[in-house]
Structure 1
């Protein structure tokens, strides 16, 4: 069970943030409305929200997931792979010290984005992407193995981040799209297959009694509901324009 979630308000500079999409420029007012809807969804999941103020110096810093990976025992402070985002961790560490006393840090030349790390029970999957390199992944693996976690490094071929294409929603079930549908590393799980046209819905989050999903991806939402999960839908169009998904917008622990 998660007790806490950390979110961060997007600043006006968000519209100048990093993106690989061709979906157009975000509408800032609508972005703020969608962020509020996201917070309300988390509140429905019965977690305590720490809502951080915007920082215009870091346009992408609303995507707090990339700054850290949090376990029950310790926090790993990531070293984000994009130079414009690298210092976002400096803001997050003081916040996390309110909750954790044990910290580990990914050090250069290693880079890790939290969006490339998926935890399934006692195992971590670490994606190698444009934002997470082999050096960083090996550091992460060595850290968690000290605490008897398993860790597996996964080379990405298509997706921006590991969690762009796969989510663990409990009950031994993963939601998968694209390159992960037939990936041998995930064949041991029950799979909810996301159709190509709904790949964005591969990034969803299980928070206590609910699975939070992006709205309007009706086929995937129906599959998740039919598998026995309670779904909360959240509008995400303005975050999607900058490669952001539901997991990106919070640290849940």
Structure 2
């Protein structure tokens, strides 16, 4: 059983959000006002589920700063402040660090490490971390050492983030695409295979036994309800255009 989340750190999108790093074909159609409304709904959902939400101010110089998950990885009383691979995102980390230092013992990842929270799946006894386009082996080493935790690694240097393809509902229940079903890190666990046409819904967010899904994925909604789990859906259309998803929008601790 994973630890109950008590707090979340979030950061609303700024007016620069349309300049986000993204390969999505609709990136230039991002509606910033709608993105802010969707973010407000996200925050309300967390609060309704009993989470104390802390908000950082938007920064008009940092287009991707709403994706706070990438800037820190928290476990127990410690946080590793990350070193994102895109140089343009590294300035996001300092303000996140100042906010977390009130609650946690923080350490900054050092070169040549690159690591982003979107590659880190949290379980009660270990982490599963993607060795990806954004996270390298030195980043994983520093993460494991500072957080004093066992790490299982899934290797795919072509993926941006592991959690675009695989997330955990509980220690032994995963949601993911077919390609990761037989990875040793999840072998022997229950595994909900995401239909290819609903692959965006592989990124789920579980808060205190309630599963949050992006809207528009009816097959995934049915499959998760078949496990007798409570499910809430949130419209994530504008964040999807910026290659972002549910877990990207918060740091939970």
Pair 1:104 & 2:107 matched? yes
Q: CA deviation at 1:157?
A: 5.3
TM alignment of 1:31-50, pairs within 5 A: 31-50=35-54
Conserved? CA contact 2:97–2:106, under 8 Å: no
Q: TM-score, normalised by structure 2?
A: 0.94
1:82-97 equivalences in 2 (<5 Å): 82-97=86-101
- Farther off after superposition, 74-83 or 132-141: 132-141
Q: Kindly state the Cα deviation for residue 132 of structure 1 after the two structures are TM-superposed.
A: 0.9
**Correspondent of 1:138 among 136, 141, 154:** 141
CA contact (8 A) 1:45 1:209 kept: no
**Counterpart for residue 194 of structure 1:** 194
Q: CA separation of 1:171/1:78 partners in 2, compared to 1, >3 Å: closer, same or farther?
A: closer
Select the residue among 62, 72, 79 that pairs with 1:75. 79
1:22 matched to which residue of 2?
25
Alpha-carbon offset, residue 128 of structure 1? 1.4
Deviation (angstroms), 1:171: 5.7
Instruction: Compute the TM-score of the two structures, normalised by the length of structure 1.
Output: 0.94
Out of 54, 65, 70, the position equivalent to 2:69 is 65
Task: State the match for 1:185 in structure 2.
Answer: 185
Q: What is the alpha-carbon distance in structure 1 between the residues aligned to residue 71 and residue 168 of structure 2?
A: 20
- Structure 1 residue 178, shift from structure 2 partner: 4.1
Is 1:238 paired with 2:231? no
Three-state SS of the structure 2 residue aligned to 1:242 is coil
Shift of 1:184: 3.1
In the TM superposition, structure 1's runs of 4+ consecutive aligned residues that sit over 4 Å from their partners are none
- Distance, in Å, in 2 between the alignment partners of 1:185 and 1:153 is 7
Match of 1:173 in 2: 173
C-alpha distance in 2 between matches for 1:141 and 1:48: 27
Residue 23 of structure 1 deviates from its aligned partner by 2.8
CA distance in 2: counterparts of 1:9 and 1:42, whole angstroms: 14
Equivalences for residues 222-237 of structure 1 within 5 A: 222-237=222-237
Unaligned runs of 5+ in 1: none
Give the conservation status (yes or no) of the 8 Å contact 1:178–1:199. Answer: no
Partner Cα separation in structure 2 for residue 20 and residue 219 of structure 1: 26
1:31 touches 1:239 (CA, 8 Å); kept in 2?
yes
Structure 2 gap segments, 5+ residues each: none
